[in-house]
A and B are shown apart, each in its own frame.
Chain A
């Protein structure tokens, strides 16, 4: 009996030692660069977590925000075309609560300009940021709970151990090369590669008219068309816009906001027109409201790329009905730089009216 108690005590003490050892390892290696920046750090595509460290460790004057529509931009391209020192913080599938929260952190750390790719669906009703299980707000705020969740984490301990092994000179090169093919998260050597298409990516294979039309057929099938309007409610979306987007821009008059509506393919709106007209009405009413409100703010420049026919009607630019190829990313940066499609405060719905006419007239290729 006494022996078993001794073993039990040993087991529990050894477990405590392991937990503390793992926490010490995470603190020393600091894979997120939450405590100190490191020129030899590696990065993760898990942007909801990675952003907390990027905001702490990178120097920047411009924050870039968006959803998967903006995911394949490269920081270096943004810097080159717009003449800024940017930090890309776009998060796939993010909502306006998450985006606004992360942007606020970036502004607090020195961002003087925000470039914001704004989808209508980011304003759908979702959990409040304090109750959001997917964005570690305490980690961003560096509260005791946030720091503890970082240090006492098996996932971070695993990443730290891998980073440590990778720092051994003979292993550094082969493990760095192999990292993207291994089940580790911190595998990217260059901050530019965070959630961007690999340089050798076969764009034509994944962005072409066949894929866009197949996606259109999929989402408009009678059995799935109800998903087109899932979560869309005009009043709730306006409320979230006012709180998260308008509120953020109004709170920071010294920060310049370049906000743009991305160039979805025309099929996105035609799908709503054909399968869920009530959703199309919500979207157009909401973006009219957004345009009217944002153009009132002197620190906001609103750009609308949704009615640029040469891009949105050329289905070879798309992988589905909304996601465009990197070729379009480059154009978006050019348009932002030139201000060519900036919404005029005197006529804020002009481009929306264009878009409505295009949607009305468009016939899907058979």
Chain B
């Protein structure tokens, strides 16, 4: 089921909310079970064939977690239990996500003709990562024993299940356990609806609105200089509004249930460096990669050279997480290289004098944005060869078309650039503070209230009017 669909908005969400709060008056556990069952239903509507896999994954990880938290195991047994859990998760992920890719490469290298056709279960990367983090923390002794319904809800919780944000058990399960979240809070529901409306508008009007321009670069046999740039920029904005719109919707829906989800985007294209970009783009994935991959690899604690090696490994695996294709590997490698250059620059170049601070920040923003756009070309292209063709066109100003279609595209791209750089992001507008569990206080008490309220009603209206029958989320299959 899609958030941007009439059945979800008009039937599923109101029904689940009503059931949740009705049961909330009767106890603490029933609403949790209700929400977990609703989440499974949400998943099953589009991916019924993978429900069993999801349930098996939950049972397996909960069982391993139980061994690590409750059973009195010795250190070697604990290590073995963790290895079993993580290996099991990675094997399943590997089979479903990477078996085809590995086979293709073996075929190329060995001249064989093996064929592997495995459908990718929706959300497998997200629910696998959340559970790996749970196991590692359980091994580190950082997890209290959780009841199975709460754990199952943590994994399946439908606002995040298929496209994130990636959740952390320490953040979520205590919220599921609280009694207060089982009773309707009008302020949280209002703020949730507004955040959902903004996200829906971003997805259906902004992301889907610019999507046709992407073909200028990526579906043309030989795009011109202007077509390649316009297509690449269109994709850059489409991806951002699609994914951040999805994250906003997830946060808004969750807020209606009284649960705060982590922020996943913080105006990433305003970043002044690549390091800054990764603190603002898909923030929950960045945190996961940092805490469960980069730091265990040694982080920056084993010297400068190994730090760069660790950065490259982390970003290469981060690239592969997004998809089993060489284009994603190149995308990850590019970002790894960008990060290494950024860290080397910080280490080698002295602080910029105050007089040059603002021009320096502007130059940093422009350079970062351009580097990100170049990397997105690999992210979007069907093959490395196709990406190189688009890039070649982007660096060949001798071939310019600039007809009516390109002029109209330029107007649209400029509008989106204005939105990205000049308009505050959702959490700023709403005063959303995930850590402090606060939202909407300033706007509800301030002069901006009617503006935000009626602006949100317009966003909701146009978000609903913008729903199309064939508009998935780009991040669906990651």
A182 CA to B466 CA, complexed, in Å: 19
Q: Known contacts being A181-B411, A183-B412, A218-B221, is A15 close to B461, with CB within 8 Å?
A: yes
B135: chain A residues at CB < 8 Å are none
Complex contact B222–A214 (CB within 8 A): yes
What 0/1 readout, one digit per residue, does chain B (362-405) give for beta carbons within 8 Å of chain A?
Answer: 00000000000000000000000100000000000000000010
Chain B residues 155-212 with CB under 8 Å of chain A are 185-187, 189-190, 193-194, 197, 204-205, 209
- Least CB separation from B205: chain A residue: A154
Q: Does B465 contact A (CB under 8 A)?
A: yes
Q: Does A144 contact B (CB under 8 A)?
A: no
Q: Does A18 contact B (CB under 8 A)?
A: yes
Complex contact B186–A10 (CB within 8 A): no
Interface of B is mostly: helix
Q: Known contacts being A18-B457, A18-B461, A181-B407, is A4 close to B444, with CB within 8 Å?
A: yes
Chain A residues 1-50 with CB under 8 Å of chain B are 1-5, 7-8, 10-12, 14-19, 22
Q: Does A180 contact B (CB under 8 A)?
A: yes
A19: chain B residues at CB < 8 Å are 461, 464-465
Q: Does B408 contact A (CB under 8 A)?
A: yes
Complex contact A198–B444 (CB within 8 A): no
Chain A residues 279-334 with CB under 8 Å of chain B are 320
Add 6 more A-B contacts to A5-B186, A7-B449 (CB < 8 A). A8-B189, A152-B464, A152-B465, A181-B407, A183-B408, A223-B385
CB distance from B26 to the nearest CB of A (A): 21
Residue in B411, B457, B460, B469 with the greatest tally of chain A CB atoms within 10 Å: B457
Residue in B385, B408, B409, B458 with the greatest tally of chain A CB atoms within 10 Å: B408
B458: chain A residues at CB < 8 Å are 14-15, 18
Q: Known contacts being A4-B190, A4-B444, is A11 close to B465, with CB within 8 Å?
A: no
Q: Which 9 A-B pairs have the closest CB atoms?
A: A18-B461, A14-B457, A4-B186, A154-B465, A154-B466, A133-B470, A183-B412, A15-B460, A15-B457
A164 CA to B117 CA, complexed, in Å: 52
B185: chain A residues at CB < 8 Å are 1
CB distance from A23 to the nearest CB of B (A): 8
Complex contact A154–B186 (CB within 8 A): no
Complex contact A22–B465 (CB within 8 A): yes
- Least CB separation from B405: chain A residue: A180
Q: Does A59 contact B (CB under 8 A)?
A: no
A22 CA to B459 CA, complexed, in Å: 13
Q: Does B473 contact A (CB under 8 A)?
A: no
Chain B positions within 8 Å of A, measured between CB atoms, are 185-187, 189-190, 193-194, 197, 204-205, 209, 221-222, 385, 404, 407-409, 411-412, 415, 444, 449, 453-454, 456-458, 460-462, 464-466, 469-470
CB distance from A67 to the nearest CB of B (A): 16
**CB<8 Å pairs between A and B, sample of 26:** A1-B187, A2-B186, A3-B186, A4-B186, A4-B190, A7-B190, A7-B453, A12-B460, A14-B461, A16-B461, A18-B458, A18-B461, A19-B464, A19-B465, A22-B461, A22-B465, A152-B464, A152-B465, A154-B466, A157-B462, A180-B404, A181-B404, A181-B407, A182-B408, A183-B409, A218-B221
A363 CA to B300 CA, complexed, in Å: 62
Contact of A11 among B187, B415, B453, B466 (CB under 8 A): B453
CB distance from B253 to the nearest CB of A (A): 15
CB distance from A40 to the nearest CB of B (A): 22
Q: Does A68 contact B (CB under 8 A)?
A: no
A182: chain B residues at CB < 8 Å are 408, 411
Q: Does A58 contact B (CB under 8 A)?
A: no
A342 CA to B385 CA, complexed, in Å: 44
A234 CA to B469 CA, complexed, in Å: 32
B194: chain A residues at CB < 8 Å are 11
A152 CA to B409 CA, complexed, in Å: 25
A210 CA to B259 CA, complexed, in Å: 62
Complex contact A198–B465 (CB within 8 A): no
A36 CA to B190 CA, complexed, in Å: 41
Complex contact B411–A183 (CB within 8 A): yes
Residue in A1, A12, A18, A134 with the greatest tally of chain B CB atoms within 10 Å: A18
A22: chain B residues at CB < 8 Å are 461-462, 465
A16 CA to B193 CA, complexed, in Å: 14
Residue in A17, A182, A183 with the greatest tally of chain B CB atoms within 10 Å: A183
A320 CA to B222 CA, complexed, in Å: 11
CB distance from A194 to the nearest CB of B (A): 14
A5 CA to B453 CA, complexed, in Å: 12
B187: chain A residues at CB < 8 Å are 1, 4
Complex contact A15–B190 (CB within 8 A): no
A11 CA to B252 CA, complexed, in Å: 15
Complex contact B190–A8 (CB within 8 A): yes
CB distance from A229 to the nearest CB of B (A): 18
Complex contact B462–A215 (CB within 8 A): no
B385: chain A residues at CB < 8 Å are 223
CB distance from B383 to the nearest CB of A (A): 9
Q: Does A165 contact B (CB under 8 A)?
A: no
Chain A residues 222-237 with CB under 8 Å of chain B are 223
Complex contact A198–B404 (CB within 8 A): yes
